[in-house]
Structures are given as C-alpha cells and as structure tokens.
C-alpha cells in the first residue's frame, strides 16, 4: 500500500492533505502554492538565479505530494531564460499514491497539465533511485525513495538550490536534525542557496553548524517568518565535485551507430554538444541493433542483484524514450511480457514482501490464468507477468535518436584509429584521413572499441617517455557474442491465434511484429536467440534455426504446434534466420567510463575518451539509461542510478564477473533482450 493520506475538508476542490503517520498537514494553512512560491522559489532566488545557466540542480527533502516540484516546473517552463536542463532531486521515505499526488494538484488548475504528466510516471517506486523524464529530457526528476540521509549518501552531486521541507520539526525530527543538515551540506557547493518555512532555533543552529549562513525573512501570513540562507562554510568543503575538464559542450565524435552510440549522441546533443556519429555500415543500427525486434523486460533475482536493479532503471528509461519517440503498434508495443519459469521457480526478492506491494506489482507479478491461456498454457504452469515490458524494433529507436537536433550521422565511415593532435581527437581512416574530430570521443563500436582504445592510448602517451602508458585497454574485456533469431512472415488472422505479447524464459517468442522493410500490414513472428561467445560470424545457419524451434517447443508447445500446422510452417526451409554479434563483458553489465588511467601522465587526454560498450544482449534495456549516465558523469550532474551501481559499470569493474550477477551462459541467453 502507498502511504495513506487523509483528506480533510477545507472548502477546496481537493481538500487538505494530512498525514496520519506524522499527525501533520502536508501543506500550510494557506494552501501549498503560496508557500511553494514564497518560501521555496523566492527563498532560493528563483527563477532569477538560474537565468541563462546551462544547467540547474534543485535538491528537495520530502517530495510529498510534489507541489513544490510542479510549481518549479511551471516557473521553469514559463521562463524564457530557463536553463537548458533542470535537475530536480527529491527524497521521499513514504511515497503517496499517484492518485493522491494528482488530487493534491486539483486545487490548482494551472498545475494540472504538469500533474497529469507526473501522475503517469509515478509507478513502481520501490526503494532506491528513479529517474523520471519530462519535457523531452530537459526536466529530470530523480526520486530517491528512502530515508533522506541514506538516499543522499548514495549520490554525489552539487545542488544549486535546496528546498528543505518536511513535516514540522516536532512531528518529523529526522528531517531537521544535525545529521540531516550534514547530508544536505555534502550536496552543496559554496553559494548554494537554501530555503525553508521553519525558523525553529534547532534547525537554524544545525544549518549554521554545517556551514550555512541563514537569516529569518518575512513569511507569508499567517506565518511570521521563513528562513533562507547560503552554503558558505568557514572551511574549504571536502569534495569539490567539479565537472571533469572537457565537459563543457563542444564537439563529440561517437564511433558506432548502434543503440549505445545513438543513445549517447542524443543525450549529449541535448546538453549542447555537436555530435558526429560514425559507423562503418551504410545504414544506422546495422550491427546487433538491426535485430528485427527485441523483448524489453526487467531481470528478476531473489537477491535483487545489480543486474536486476540496473535492468529496472533501464526498462523505465527505455519505455520513456519509446513512448516519446516511437509509434506504438508499429515500432514497438508496451504489451507486457510473460516470463515462463521453466528451469526453476523465479523467486522474487524476499525484501519486497515487506514493502509497498503495489510498487513491486507494478513491475512483476504472477501471470494470471487468462494471460497463461493466451499462450496455450494452463493455470498450473508457472510464469511471471512483467507489466512494464514489451517489444521494440531497435533500429527504429536508433534512427529516432540519430534524428535529434545536434546529431549528425555518417555511414560508410570506417575508423581505423584515433590520434590526438593539438588537444583534439581525430578519428582517422585506414589511409590516415580524418573522418571527424572532437574534444570528446565515445567508443560505442562493440568489441572493436578495444582496438580503438588501444590506438587512443598509444597516441595519448606519445609525448611521454616510452612505457608510461598504463595499458588501460587491458581492462576492456569486451567479448563478441553471436546470436541468431529465427522468424517467418505471418498473416493477420494467424497472428490473432498467437500470444499478443512476447514470452520469454527459454529463449523468447514474439508474434504480430510488423515486418521491418516489408509491405504495410505484413506481420512476422520471431523466436530465439542463440548465444555463442567468441564467434563473430554473421552467417544465418539452418542448424541454429532448428535449435531455436526446438527451444520454442519447450517454451510454448502449443504455439510451436500451431505454427507447424499453419500455412507458414516452421519447416527449416521456410523459416529465416537473422544473425548479429553482440558485445558483452564478464560482469554481464555494460562497460561505461572514461579511459583515463589514474595518475598516468596521459590521464588528461584519455579522460576525454569514453567507452560505452558491452551491453550484451540487453542493448534495449541499457542504452537509454547508460547514455544518460554517461552524460551525467561527464557533466557532474546527479546520476540516474546510485553511485555504487554506476561504479560497477566502470570499465575496470566490468572486466570482472559481478559478485551478484554470475549466472551460467544458458541462463544469460534466457534473460536476454533477444
Ligand atoms: N514538499 C512536499 C510538496 O511539495 O508537496 C511536501 C512535503 S511534506 C510536508 C513532508 C514529506 O517528507 C512527507 O511526504 C514525508 O513522507 C516525507 N518524509 C518524512 N520523513 C522523511 C525522511 N526521513 N526521509 C524522506 N522523506 C521523509
């Protein structure tokens, strides 16, 4: 159950929200809007303070019913001098339901349009970080579900403004004590402005002790005072989290126009970079991202492993992008996914039993008899239902990302090596001709990224004594993994007899796909994929089609039988194969980070070469999320996932099997997008 909110009649359209847990009102007697405007925005000098800044970051303690967020959104949208990107990071230990958030805004018709968009994204709020995306990715809400102190510990960012909120210090002391103020101060830079509605002595003292200068200001009646202040400690703040050198938007060369490269290009272009994407192929998404359709569903494990947590954040990010950029029913379908539990029962994390069950059920729940029946399965067959899943044609997403303003795509551009000349990286072809140049390079060329990293390392270390290079490329343990899917065309009336959503759990099956490049209305079914490490062959093999069909007989016996009986039989000579080569890491997590070797003389130069590869068979799950992670790390923005999880993707760590992500290859295949 989400946090219960009691609605007291106060003559407004919604009523006045009240917390039975804390015995206090969510908003002041005046209604929240005046407080939000006078105490928080004005107290932090907004909107003037953010005028013409490239980015701005607000931290709020106690997201509550989101009123401060909605008003800030409205102010940002109305401001012609608004920052290009607005980050709003909010903590909330006891999330209210999406419906209560919507109801709270009902009294303010001017906020309705924003409240409805927020309402649509408030689902699946399990403990941890959730990145919600609005306004084409320019307004980023990072909701941190958990105790404020604990949540702030999991991150590393600098807020420009702080809204210090919470129930009254008497009812909710944890939100105002010294440890909380310390946790907030850790997220501030010198000059960060802070605002709150309480002027309680204990709060002023705690803030002062943590390096804030605070002053009482006239409040909105009936409140006599409000508090505003600034982080200006007498000491030098411990961690200066400045953006690394080179992070000011300039020119960026992305090598590889698959899901990873295209997503990174779009995320960087949104932040003002001029991006050129180079690829050896004639069309974008020609590598593993050319898969006719992939299945999007989160990974589930009893211990809620790093892979599971990352996959949920990834699925959310991809759904947001697909929803914004693609046409449902044509390029993708948010149909949900049924996962059969054939080899062993899929146990959900034990910790979820003690949580808001709705948040967990938004993600995954046991499949119901109707869903099973649509797959020709019986109520005794064990399966999970991933409501937030579906299928996507990866190449459609790639094309949409490459079409973003600020991104230029160039095909038939084979990058042979990288060379650094006068502080700029050049992508050179085999004859030494520069194909593109930039201050930043993103290697998103699958396992070819390793060779390019080696060339960058050699070039960066040239001015230094021989042998000073730190062999960073040896950390790029990228491995080719061949996969073949099997497919055949399908008539619309045949499609109606097949599951209307993807099924996975022993390979996967998707029916009713529009045939990419086929005549309008022509559908197809698809099953697979094989999973073969260390093989780079793109040849489709009849034997692997047989293997896929054999697995389909185990996954969905009824469907396999029906296809065999139909006019589009599964006879080996009539089905077709499509093969691609994915790139994976030993950790099964993507590799994402700069090549900068610590303490090496060429560290500065290599700090502007980033690797973004090893998405394995989960490109659809990881690309959108990790592209935002890359951009956030580069610009020292709040991260979309916890710092610990983000660090697990650093190339050096991705080279090791993740302690909590090890599974046999057979299961890796079972868990894949394919
Ligand atoms: N800022 C909100 C708005 O604009 O609607 C109103 C905030 S309400 C007064 C205070 C919020 O703090 C509640 O939603 C409560 O659940 C949350 N809260 C209380 N203790 C907390 C804690 N230790 N960590 C995080 N959130 C907490």
Between the alpha carbon of residue 344 and those of residues 368, 381, 433, 659, 668, the distances in Å are 19, 12, 55, 21, 14
Atom 14 of ligand 1: nearest residue by CA position:
64
17 C-alpha vs ligand 1 centroid, how far in Å? 12
Task: Supply the pLDDT for residue 654.
Answer: 65
Model pLDDT for residues 171-189, shown as the tens digit of each residue: 999 999 999 999 999 999 9
Is 40 among the domain residues?
yes
Is 21 among the domain residues?
yes
> Best mutation site among 36, 71, 93 for ligand 1, i.e. most ligand atoms within 8 A of its Cβ?
93
Task: Supply the pLDDT for residue 665.
Answer: 37
Cα 638 to Cα 628: distance, rounded to the nearest angstrom: 10
Model pLDDT for residues 269-280, shown as the tens digit of each residue: 999 999 999 999
50 C-alpha vs ligand 1 centroid, how far in Å? 25
> How much of the chain, in percent, has pLDDT values that exceed 90?
72
Task: Supply the pLDDT for residue 35.
Answer: 86
Task: Supply the pLDDT for residue 41.
Answer: 97
pLDDT band at 37 (very low <50, low <70, confident <90, very high): very high
Statement: residue 611 has pLDDT above 60 = yes
Is 582 among the domain residues?
no
Which ligand 1 atom is at minimum distance from the Cα of 24? 9
In sequence order, what are the beta bridge partners of 479? 584
Cα 291 to Cα 481: distance, rounded to the nearest angstrom: 14
16 C-alpha vs ligand 1 centroid, how far in Å? 15
Is 170 among the domain residues?
yes
Task: Supply the pLDDT for residue 667.
Answer: 40
CA neighbor of 111 nearest in space, from 71, 64, 138: 71
625 C-alpha vs ligand 1 centroid, how far in Å? 27
Is 211 among the domain residues?
yes
Atom 17 of ligand 1: nearest residue by CA position:
62
Contact criterion met (CB below 8 Å) for 177 and 72 = no
Q: What is the pTM of this model?
A: 0.94
CATH number of the domain residue 13 falls in: 3.40.50.150
CA neighbor of 607 nearest in space, from 615, 616, 599: 599
Report how many domains make up the chain: 1
Cα 444 to Cα 596: distance, rounded to the nearest angstrom: 16
Ligand 1 is surrounded, with C-beta below 6 A, by: 26, 32, 62-68, 91-94, 147-148, 165-167, 172, 174-175
Strands 55-61 and 159-164: parallel
Contact criterion met (CB below 8 Å) for 255 and 444 = yes
Token pair 């459609």: residue: 396
Give the pLDDT mean for 77-81. Answer: 98
DSSP codes, 59-103:
EEE--TTSHHHHHHHHHHHH-TT--SEEEEEEEESSPBPHHHHHH
pLDDT band at 673 (very low <50, low <70, confident <90, very high): low
Which ligand 1 atom is at minimum distance from the Cα of 26? 9
Cα 407 to Cα 253: distance, rounded to the nearest angstrom: 10
| Own/partner pairs, 372-377, CB within 8 angstroms, 24+ separation | 372/338, 374/499, 374/500, 374/501, 375/338, 375/499, 375/503, 375/556, 375/558, 375/559, 376/556, 376/557, 376/558, 376/559, 376/562, 377/340, 377/556, 377/558
More confident residue, 162 or 599: 162
More confident residue, 1 or 665: 1
In sequence order, what are the beta bridge partners of 407? 275
Is 256 among the domain residues?
no
Task: Supply the pLDDT for residue 658.
Answer: 62
Atom 23 of ligand 1: nearest residue by CA position:
147
Is 645 among the domain residues?
no
Phi and psi torsions of 446, nearest 5°:
60, -140
Is 271 among the domain residues?
no
In sequence order, what are the beta bridge partners of 410? 278
Give the pLDDT mean for 365-377. Answer: 96
pLDDT band at 14 (very low <50, low <70, confident <90, very high): confident
Statement: residue 566 has pLDDT above 70 = no
26 C-alpha vs ligand 1 centroid, how far in Å? 8
pLDDT band at 625 (very low <50, low <70, confident <90, very high): very high
Model pLDDT for residues 94-115, shown as the tens digit of each residue: 999 999 999 999 989 999 999 9
Atom 5 of ligand 1: nearest residue by CA position:
65
Model pLDDT for residues 122-166, shown as the tens digit of each residue: 999 999 999 999 999 999 999 999 999 999 999 999 999 999 999
Give the pLDDT mean for 224-248. Answer: 78
Cα 405 to Cα 659: distance, rounded to the nearest angstrom: 40
Statement: residue 580 has pLDDT above 60 = yes
What's the start-to-end Cα distance of the chain, in Å? Answer: 34
Residue range of the domain that includes 23: 6-231
């Amino acid at each position: 159950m989400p946090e219960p909110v009691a609605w007291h009649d106060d003559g407004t359209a919604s009523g006045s929200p009240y917390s039975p847990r804390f015995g206090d009102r969510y908003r002041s007697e005046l209604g929240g809007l005046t407080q939000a405007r006078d105490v928080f925005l004005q107290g932090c000098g907004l909107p003037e303070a953010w005028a013409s800044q490239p980015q701005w970051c607000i931290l709020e303690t106690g997201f509550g019913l989101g009123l401060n967020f909605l008003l800030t959104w409205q102010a940002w949208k109305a401001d012609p001098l608004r920052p290009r990107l607005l980050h709003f990071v909010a903590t909330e230990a006891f999330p209210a339901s999406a419906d209560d958030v919507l109801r709270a805004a009902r009294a303010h018709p001017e906020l309705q349009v924003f409240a409805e968009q927020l309402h649509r994204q408030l689902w699946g709020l399990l403990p941890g970080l959730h990145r919600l995306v609005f306004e084409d990715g320019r307004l980023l809400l990072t909701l941190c579900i958990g105790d404020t102190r604990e949540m702030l510990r999991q991150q590393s960012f600098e807020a420009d403004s702080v809204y210090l909120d919470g129930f009254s210090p008497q009812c909710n002391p944890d939100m105002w004590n010294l440890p909380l103020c310390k946790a907030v101060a850790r997220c501030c830079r010198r000059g960060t402005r802070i605002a709150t509605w309480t002027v309680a002595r204990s709060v002023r003292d705690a803030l002062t002790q943590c390096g804030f200068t605070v002053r009482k200001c006239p409040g909105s009646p009936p409140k006599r005072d409000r508090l505003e202040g600034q982080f200006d400690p007498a000491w030098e703040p411990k961690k200066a989290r400045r953006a690394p050198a080179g992070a000011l938007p300039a020119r960026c060369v992305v090598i590889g126009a698959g899901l990873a490269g295209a997503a990174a290009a779009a995320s960087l272009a949104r932040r003002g970079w001029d991006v050129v994407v180079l690829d050896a192929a004639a069309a974008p998404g020609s590598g593993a991202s050319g898969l006719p359709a992939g299945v999007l569903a989160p990974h589930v494990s009893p211990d809620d492993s790093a892979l599971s947590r990352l996959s949920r954040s990834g699925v959310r990010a991809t759904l947001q992008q697909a929803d914004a950029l693609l046409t449902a029913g044509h390029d993708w379908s948010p149909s949900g996914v049924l996962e059969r539990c054939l080899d062993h029962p899929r146990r959900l994390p034990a910790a979820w039993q003690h949580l808001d069950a709705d948040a967990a059920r938004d993600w995954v729940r046991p499949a119901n008899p109707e869903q099973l029946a649509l797959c020709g399965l019986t109520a005794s067959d064990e399966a999970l239902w991933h409501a937030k899943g579906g299928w996507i044609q990866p190449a459609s997403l790639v094309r949409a990302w490459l079409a973003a303003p600020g991104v230029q795509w160039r095909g038939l551009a084979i990058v042979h090596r990288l060379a650094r000349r006068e502080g700029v990286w050049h992508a050179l072809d085999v004859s030494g001709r520069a194909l593109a140049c930039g201050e930043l390079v993103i290697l998103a060329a699958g396992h070819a990224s390793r060779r390019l990293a080696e060339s960058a390392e050699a070039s960066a270390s040239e001015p230094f004594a021989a042998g000073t290079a730190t062999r960073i490329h040896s950390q790029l343990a990228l491995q080719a993994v061949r996969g073949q899917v099997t497919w055949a065309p399908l008539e619309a009336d045949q499609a109606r007899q097949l599951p209307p959503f993807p099924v996975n759990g022993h390979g996967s099956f998707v029916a009713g796909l529009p045939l990419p490049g086929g005549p309008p209305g022509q559908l197809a079914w698809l099953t697979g994929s094989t999973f073969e490490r260390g093989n780079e062959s793109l040849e489709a093999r009849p034997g692997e089609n047989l293997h896929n069909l054999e697995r389909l007989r185990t996954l969905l016996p009824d469907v396999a039988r029906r296809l065999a009986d139909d006019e589009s039989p599964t006879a080996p000579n009539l089905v077709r194969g499509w093969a691609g080569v994915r790139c994976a890491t030993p950790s099964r997590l993507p590799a994402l980070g700069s090549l900068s070797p610590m303490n090496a003389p060429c560290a500065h130069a290599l700090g502007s070469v980033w690797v973004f590869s090893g998405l394995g068979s989960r490109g659809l799950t990881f690309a959108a999320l990790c592209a935002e992670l890359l951009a956030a790390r580069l610009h020292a923005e709040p991260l979309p996932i916890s710092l610990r999880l983000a660090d697990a993707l650093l190339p050096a760590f991705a080279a090791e099997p993740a302690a909590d992500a090890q599974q046999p290859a057979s299961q890796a295949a079972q868990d894949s997008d394919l």
